[in-house]
Structure 1
Amino acid sequence: MLDLFLDGFWLGEGTRDLINNLLIVAMDQTSYERCEFLRLHCYKLETEGVDFMGEKLYMSEDFIKMMWRRTIFLRDVLKRGYNFIFTDIDVLWLRNPFQHLNLQQNLDMQISTDKFRGNPWSESHRINTGFYMIQSNNKTIALFDRWYALKDRAKGLKEQDVLQIMIQKGFLRKLGMRVKFLDTIYFSGFCQDSRDVRAVATVHANCCRGIAAKLVDLTAVVHDWKRYKSSSADETSIFRWSKHDACRRSWKQNTPLALHNWQKN
């Protein structure tokens, strides 16, 4: 998956130089060694008593543990005073996303959505924590503190589900946070394709269960991108993304049900 992720930067528009600003956080030794071999900026995130080697199937117990471990790591980054963009490795960067992000400090967070509903300030969006930009300040640190504190009351829920519930309960407003929900025209995914290949910046393999399916359908996105780059203006006007068939089929496996009792507290 790392090699495919890097392909996006090499093939994208205005993205190659961004590789120098990437910090790859590896969850296991094999991933870390691959990162080191590619001479990237690498950090191995270790968790005592937990082995994150190999694929962690979506919503499995180990998958949920891994997501929460990621959350506490990112909180520590914020506490060190760093602003950052977080991106999952199954997000292809096809254009420099900064042209579609607000770089001023008047926004605390800008987060991707599974489906964009038209109003970038509406808290009704279904968020996706696979891509977001965040400022380090007292409000965002307080958000992450509260977010992680809910982990033990959220059995069977991944961190994204918990943040979604916090938003629905008005926690962002209580903190006085300004949060923008990103348009899928620019920050798209398999849940909702970008309607304009001439504008899209990132493509996320969301709404997909399993690395094998993600690899198949993200590879198709790379082929789509190459086809677009070599097409004429007339061909671009009728461009269509390939169907995400592997990801669609991946959901035929049973997924554990999440427990939501804690929401009532």
Structure 2
Amino acid sequence: MKTVPRSLLLLGVLTALTLFVFTYLSKKADHLQPQGSSKENISSGTNDRLTKMTNKTNHVLSAAMRISEGGQKALLVTLVNDAFLPFAFSWLCNTQGMGIHNQVLFITGDKESAKKINEKWPSVTAVQLDGVHSGNQEYSHVGYVEMMVRRSEVLLEILEQNIPIFLFEVDCLWIKNPLENLRSYSDVDIVVNAVSERSKIIAGGFLYMHPNEASKQMWRALTEQLTDLGEKIKNSPDTQLISESDNDQVYLSQLLFSKYGGLKYKILSTQDYADGKWYKLSKEKREQLKPYLINNNWVIGNAAKIMRAKEWGHWFLKNSGECDQERVQKVVRQGLL
């Protein structure tokens, strides 16, 4: 019988020992790996995107911290693009006497829009953010949905800084300042607005969030869903229609009504916070209501919204670009709608 050379025997032993050590260390590494950090984790792509985004939103976060005094005051925040500038200026005229402009942060899609707001209304703050589409963007179309994705992402960044957020939209008539009323619901995590004729849907563009863990968990989940949706539609034209089952309002409503992460919420009545259906009510019914504000929705297109606002005397911007003080006096001071 042939004898195995000692050199080959030693090589075999070393190979076996090496494989044993490699296998042991691999299993040990798997055991020590933080939970949820595997490649299969569905949040990894979203987290990577948000991490990259933070580097581009530092100026937004700095402005939010300054305006809110480090989270001591609520931040009134809205996202606008160039097509929405007339609404922004009309709203600023509408609310100029309500004492809230120094708490307002406009996030714009272009530097020129931010410059115009800051020059005309120095008491508010406007900052530009990349990734916001310009021009008219219709509800439930790709361009609009991508703007909502961007809005959700930046709001999450602000919320993570422990800043109370009052999200609003400028295509809205403010009859009286709602801030104190919204803040009074201190026993809930989020205050939201009902939508007429849709019991399982809440408004996506009007809410007040306390920066606690429940609201953060919910908004992280919303942002993840929207980011995933954004990835699916990123190569589609802005004008392509998206199913109404896929948008920020639907996702937010589902998370809210499921009480995601133990979320506690308050739903505001459309009697106090009216939407576009107010314009269809009878005169008698309208006179019975004394809402804080009226959202100019349930109509499609910026031109149609402006036309309706002007017809009802709810537009406060003159053709000259100056505020229509007479209308402000009538609606805000006298409550004549």
TM exceeding 0.5: yes
Distance 1:227 1:150, change over 3 A: closer
Report the equivalent of 1:4. Answer: 90
5+ residue gaps, structure 1: 118-123, 242-265
Q: Report the TM-score, using the length of structure 2 for normalisation.
A: 0.58
Considering only CA atoms, is the larger Rg found in Structure 1 or Structure 2? 2
Assess if the C-alpha contact under 8 Å between 1:87 and 1:130 holds in 2: yes
- Structure ranking higher in helix proportion: 2
Distance 1:97 1:88, change over 3 A: same
Distance 1:144 1:196, change over 3 A: farther
Which protein, 1 or 2, shows the higher relative CO under an 8 Å CA cutoff with sep ≥ 6?
1
Distance 1:83 1:206, change over 3 A: same
Give the CA deviation at 1:100.
3.0
Distance 1:93 1:223, change over 3 A: closer
Report the equivalent of 2:136. Answer: 55
Inter-partner Cα distance in structure 1 for 2:215 and 2:150 = 17
Is 1:112 paired with 2:193? yes
Is 1:34 paired with 2:125? no
Assess if the C-alpha contact under 8 Å between 2:167 and 2:206 holds in 1: yes
Assess if the C-alpha contact under 8 Å between 2:177 and 2:292 holds in 1: yes
Which of 250, 262, 279 aligns to 1:176? It is: 262
Which of 290, 298, 322 aligns to 1:199? It is: 290
Q: Report the TM-score, using the length of structure 1 for normalisation.
A: 0.72
Report the equivalent of 2:254. Answer: 165
Is 1:20 paired with 2:121? no
Distance 1:77 1:227, change over 3 A: closer
| 51-60 vs 209-218, which moves further | 51-60
* CA RMSD, Structure 1 to Structure 2 (Å): 2.9
Count of residues in correspondence between the two structures? 218
Report the equivalent of 2:224. Answer: 149
Q: Deviations over 1:175-226 (max 9, x none)?
A: 2221111111221120345845762211111112111111112233435994
Distance 1:100 1:115, change over 3 A: farther
Give the CA deviation at 1:56.
1.3
Is 1:220 paired with 2:301? no
- Give identity over the alignment, percent: 20
Distance 1:104 1:166, change over 3 A: closer
Assess if the C-alpha contact under 8 Å between 2:218 and 2:263 holds in 1: no
